């Protein structure tokens, strides 16, 4: 199976996942793109995790964005535009391996009001991390490295400060 999380495919048809499947000369397997704005990769990861848990032998997961194709998005500065891609193969884990915890969420009515958005992001990040750690029966000191979203470094730094996590444990992808 091939799942591509993107909001900026090079073409709308065929899907990027089908193009990857063809380029890699993979057998006929389910291949699809998942579009979910900034959360496309995480949404695709969530779907891939469920497919593997349901018995899929392997899922090729790709996240790819090229926001510089999108010009003059309201409320976004040039610093938020860029190109990035990542890939992973998810398979059944032997023994105790697997996903420790995950959670998804969002809003049907997002608000792009600057300072309010920052406060909402910080609160949501704090609540989300707390909930995932609780589900996994872990605490912040158990975490060696935090990989954060690079388009909002100030939010990640504020979270580190508020949570007592040393910024040396933060990597912005």
Q: Residue 33: pLDDT above 90?
A: yes
Prediction pTM value: 0.71
pLDDT tens, 142-170? 999 888 766 678 888 888 999 999 989 98
Residue 22 has pLDDT above 90, yes or no: yes
List, for residues 86-120, the tens digit of each pLDDT value.
889 999 877 766 777 777 766 666 555 556 667 77
CATH superfamily membership of 2-91: Thiolase/Chalcone synthase (3.40.47.10)
Question: Closest by alpha carbon to 46, among 129, 130, 102?
Answer: 102
What residue segments make up the domains of the chain, in order of their start? 2-91, 114-172
Convert the pLDDT of each residue in 70-81 to its tens digit. 555 566 555 555
Tokens of 7: 């909001």
Averaged pLDDT score across all residues of the chain: 83
CA distances from 122 to 78, 86, 113, 168 (A): 22, 25, 14, 19
b/e code 3-33 from CB counts within 10 Å (16+ = b): bbbbbebeeeeebbbebbbeeeeeeeeebeb
pLDDT tier, 130 (very low <50, low <70, confident <90, very high otherwise): very high
34 φ, ψ to 5°?
-125, 120
């Amino acid at each position: 199976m091939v799942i591509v999380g993107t909001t900026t495919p090079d073409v709308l048809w065929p899907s990027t996942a089908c193009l990857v499947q063809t380029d890699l000369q993979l057998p006929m397997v389910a291949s699809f793109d998942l579009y979910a704005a900034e959360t496309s990769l995480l949404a695709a990861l969530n779907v891939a995790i469920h497919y593997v848990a349901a018995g899929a032998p392997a899922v090729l997961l790709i996240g790819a964005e090229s926001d510089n194709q999108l010009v003059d998005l309201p409320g976004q500065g040039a610093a938020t535009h860029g190109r990035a891609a990542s890939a992973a193969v998810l398979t059944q884990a032997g023994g105790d391996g697997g996903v420790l915890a995950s959670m998804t969420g969002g809003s049907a009515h997002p608000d792009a009001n600057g300072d309010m958005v920052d406060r909402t992001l910080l609160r949501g990040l704090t609540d989300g991390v707390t909930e995932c750690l609780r589900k996994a029966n872990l605490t912040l000191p158990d975490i060696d490295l935090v990989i954060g979203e690079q388009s909002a470094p100030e939010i990640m730094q504020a979270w580190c400060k508020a949570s007592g996590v040393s910024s040396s444990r933060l990597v912005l992808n």
